[in-house]
Chains A and B, each alone.
Chain A
């Protein structure tokens, strides 16, 4: 992309960037600056990440031994429910879009802000209000329905704080809708002169696809939870079998959102990987349009596969066959991305910086997660491994091995831009290694456990499963350490880190063409784009 005005690594003057332009709590809580709102989100989701992690730790501690000794089964049910609710709705869904997307999309398209800055701030407040409801439920005894809220358990049987939790998720959903809406409008209307659709960074394409899902899917989960809520409060019998209502209909509505929600979590991470792989291979992305359209294809296909969660719920066999086939199709655009990243690296000039380590981790783990997804999309295999640890391992390979690896890679990649400081590379590489080892030690044994028949969501298990469970718990501890280390050195670098130059990675992205950290208006002069993205090297340089 065109670089017109970059004075490289100038000294920081007081009050010249978005971080020091104004001080005080009010300047943060009432800000309209997309970059500051991104940091508000960063602080909140980091809190929820460690809260959800705490629940996971307690789950893994309980599973260290076959008997139910640490917690009772009721407490255990609440633990895995709250782990799922917190991690999915309050960490993973907002993670990359609300932090990195919020921060970067206006900069990547050469705009001063998102189209609706006030709505952007409102979305954070809505998130906090929703989180407050859910936290209230956690503090007052939690909820034990699983994050899926299946009826009639959630409407008639469960004693926990189903309504407070559902209201929390309902409210937070609107923050997601507003973020998606803001991104779509911004990408459509606020691109810099010369920045055509096919010059957009792939990060922006993947967020566009993500936003489509947020806007089209989230209202459906909202109204579904609303129906559960009115059924509990007013005794309207919308899913009540006693009145001839259909609890499976709830599952259809729930998964109509919640399957695409998986792509809300993974698509932004794919966007990060596209940026990181090109930068650290110093090569143009292989097959730009394929990667871009693969994002949109994943978003569209994602809406057509929800029935694969219901193969054993009494759905018709023919519906199951169609959903199985459609689920296989999602593998095509996903594979296109993996192959194109690999092809981008081929004969590239690869540097082993931390973001690239996370990208390697992502590609490997996402591939395992995706391929085991094909096992689960196969009707016969799914009947065998349904509701076992196999599926737990599968979706953690996507959500932790994929989405969180992408998130951490992105945080390292853009940290110099966000904070104006360099993180310590040695520690960061070490932490990336710890995360990779800890992750695999935690979740690979779960594939085996599931295949051997250990069901999910029980706090006790037969003694022959103990060895694998001990491995998994040990891995979780390692993984936890791997997540704490970056927290420490990111905080450390804010004060003690080296000042970051404008473009430490020599990237071609528009966001790197302004100072680190950027001024409130992002660019001193509105940029004009005159070339394709990712113009890293000419053919001769690559070959030579």
Chain B
């Protein structure tokens, strides 16, 4: 390792020349990569705890009102939910392919896979918007306009269910929007040829984020859409 003080400092925070992507305060690429990975995983831990609060509230209320939650869950459109689940899983595949292409040095493939991921993500949000519109049209958004079409004995806990539905899927959708923003930055940077087989940390880290957001949906889908299927 050369004397690190002689590496360009990159005062703008970005890579300078030489083994450019090595920032001035790291001694080696391995150290820099370790720091990024650990940082990203820690960030995902904070995200788990962030969503965890809502999952906890869901768990407690579902435990308190199992029948009402099952009944309210029947007002979900399972076909749209299933479609969206499939869309997201496929988007995880294309994201993984983008990371793989970057790692293998096939730079031409990065942008198509990123674009496919973004298209699928946008599709998910579109379908979600259709679902939201339907719920609001049927007075299922909590608050003064809420009107429960099912048995009135379940009406108040059902409003809790829909509060949780909108809070959890809304927070998830917000993460999707942020993810799409990150991916568009990656596309721009890929067009500039920033990423190489040797250094493509941002793509890899964004991939972790994207998979995390998918996994959250994998839990949300059964908890919100499918629990009514078993209760008669």
Show the binding face of A for B, using Cβ within 8 Å.
Answer: 32, 111-119, 177, 181-182, 184-186, 188-190, 215-220, 222-224, 226-227, 230-231, 234-238, 240, 242-246, 249, 253, 521, 526
The 8 Å CB contact of B50, one of A219, A230, A245, is A219
The 8 Å CB contact of A238, one of B39, B57, B156, is B57
Given the complex of chains A and B, what is the CA–CA distance between A145 and B23 in angstroms?
46
- 13 CB contacts below 8 A, A to B, read A118-B13, A177-B46, A182-B39, A185-B39, A219-B50, A223-B51, A223-B53, A223-B54, A238-B160, A243-B159, A244-B156, A244-B160, A246-B64
Which residues of B lie under 8 Å from residue A177 when comparing CB positions?
A: 46
Q: Are B38 and A185 in contact (CB under 8 A)?
A: yes
Q: Are B60 and A246 in contact (CB under 8 A)?
A: yes
B93 close to chain A: CB less than 8 A: no
Determine the residue in chain A with the shortest Cβ distance to B58.
Answer: A238
Q: A223-B52, A234-B142, A236-B167 are in contact. List 10 more A-B contacts (CB 8 A).
A: A181-B46, A185-B35, A188-B34, A189-B35, A220-B49, A220-B50, A223-B49, A243-B142, A243-B160, A246-B60
Which residues of B lie under 8 Å from residue A185 when comparing CB positions?
A: 35, 38-39, 42
Given the complex of chains A and B, what is the CA–CA distance between A117 and B65 in angstroms?
48
Given the complex of chains A and B, what is the CA–CA distance between A245 and B43 in angstroms?
30
Of the listed stretches B24-32, B84-92, B122-130, B185-193, name the one at the interface; the rest are far from the partner chain. B24-32
Q: Are B49 and A216 in contact (CB under 8 A)?
A: yes
A117-B25, A215-B46 are known contacts. Are A238 and B163 too (CB-CB below 8 A)? Answer: yes
Q: Are A526 and B27 in contact (CB under 8 A)?
A: yes
Which residues of B lie under 8 Å from residue A182 when comparing CB positions?
A: 39
A99 to chain B, nearest CB (A): 20
The 8 Å CB contact of A111, one of B25, B159, B166, is B25
Q: Are B142 and A236 in contact (CB under 8 A)?
A: yes
Which residues of A lie under 8 Å from residue B49 when comparing CB positions?
A: 216-217, 219-220, 223
Determine the residue in chain A with the shortest Cβ distance to B5.
Answer: A521
Given the complex of chains A and B, what is the CA–CA distance between A72 and B45 in angstroms?
45
A220-B52, A526-B4 are known contacts. Are A115 and B35 too (CB-CB below 8 A)? Answer: yes
Q: Are A220 and B53 in contact (CB under 8 A)?
A: yes
SS class of chain B's interface: helix, strand, loop or mixed?
helix
B199 close to chain A: CB less than 8 A: no
A220-B53, A243-B157, A521-B5 are known contacts. Are A234 and B39 too (CB-CB below 8 A)? Answer: no
A219-B50, A244-B156 are known contacts. Are A116 and B35 too (CB-CB below 8 A)? Answer: yes
A30 to chain B, nearest CB (A): 9
Which residues of A lie under 8 Å from residue B27 when comparing CB positions?
A: 526
B56 close to chain A: CB less than 8 A: yes
Q: Are A188 and B38 in contact (CB under 8 A)?
A: yes
Given the complex of chains A and B, what is the CA–CA distance between A263 and B29 in angstroms?
35
Q: Are B45 and A117 in contact (CB under 8 A)?
A: no
Given the complex of chains A and B, what is the CA–CA distance between A227 and B13 in angstroms?
36
Given the complex of chains A and B, what is the CA–CA distance between A117 and B171 in angstroms?
28
B144 close to chain A: CB less than 8 A: yes
SS class of chain A's interface: helix, strand, loop or mixed?
helix
Which residues of B lie under 8 Å from residue A117 when comparing CB positions?
A: 13, 23, 25
Given the complex of chains A and B, what is the CA–CA distance between A227 and B159 in angstroms?
15
Please report the number of residue pairs spanning A and B whose Cβ atoms sit closer than 8 angstroms: 122
B77 close to chain A: CB less than 8 A: no
B134 close to chain A: CB less than 8 A: no
A220-B49, A243-B159 are known contacts. Are A189 and B38 too (CB-CB below 8 A)? Answer: yes
A179 to chain B, nearest CB (A): 12
A243-B156, A244-B157, A249-B57 are known contacts. Are A190 and B35 too (CB-CB below 8 A)? Answer: yes
A215-B46, A236-B167 are known contacts. Are A244 and B143 too (CB-CB below 8 A)? Answer: no
Given the complex of chains A and B, what is the CA–CA distance between A242 and B164 in angstroms?
15
B153 to chain A, nearest CB (A): 11
Within 8 A of A (CB), among B1-41: 4-5, 11, 13, 23-27, 31, 34-35, 38-39
Given the complex of chains A and B, what is the CA–CA distance between A240 and B45 in angstroms?
29
Given the complex of chains A and B, what is the CA–CA distance between A119 and B143 in angstroms?
39
Which residues of B lie under 8 Å from residue A215 when comparing CB positions?
A: 42, 45-46
Q: Are B56 and A115 in contact (CB under 8 A)?
A: no
Within 8 A of A (CB), among B92-133: none
A218-B46, A224-B53, A243-B160 are known contacts. Are A189 and B13 too (CB-CB below 8 A)? Answer: no
Given the complex of chains A and B, what is the CA–CA distance between A240 and B171 in angstroms?
20
B61 close to chain A: CB less than 8 A: yes
Q: Are A181 and B42 in contact (CB under 8 A)?
A: yes
Given the complex of chains A and B, what is the CA–CA distance between A216 and B178 in angstroms?
22
Which residues of A lie under 8 Å from residue B24 when comparing CB positions?
A: 112
Which residues of B lie under 8 Å from residue A218 when comparing CB positions?
A: 46
Which residues of A lie under 8 Å from residue B164 when comparing CB positions?
A: 238
B11, B45, B142, B163 — most chain A CB neighbours (10 Å): B163
Given the complex of chains A and B, what is the CA–CA distance between A226 and B168 in angstroms?
11
Given the complex of chains A and B, what is the CA–CA distance between A230 and B39 in angstroms?
30
Which residues of A lie under 8 Å from residue B26 when comparing CB positions?
A: 190
Given the complex of chains A and B, what is the CA–CA distance between A118 and B171 in angstroms?
26
Determine the residue in chain A with the shortest Cβ distance to B27.
Answer: A526
Which residues of A lie under 8 Å from residue B45 when comparing CB positions?
A: 215-216
Q: Are A181 and B143 in contact (CB under 8 A)?
A: no
Which residues of B lie under 8 Å from residue A114 when comparing CB positions?
A: 25
Q: Are A113 and B25 in contact (CB under 8 A)?
A: yes
Q: Are A245 and B142 in contact (CB under 8 A)?
A: no
Determine the residue in chain B with the shortest Cβ distance to A121.
Answer: B13
Q: Are B61 and A234 in contact (CB under 8 A)?
A: no
B10 to chain A, nearest CB (A): 10
Q: Are A236 and B163 in contact (CB under 8 A)?
A: yes
Given the complex of chains A and B, what is the CA–CA distance between A349 and B146 in angstroms?
73
A219-B46, A230-B167, A238-B164 are known contacts. Are A244 and B65 too (CB-CB below 8 A)? Answer: yes
B172 to chain A, nearest CB (A): 13
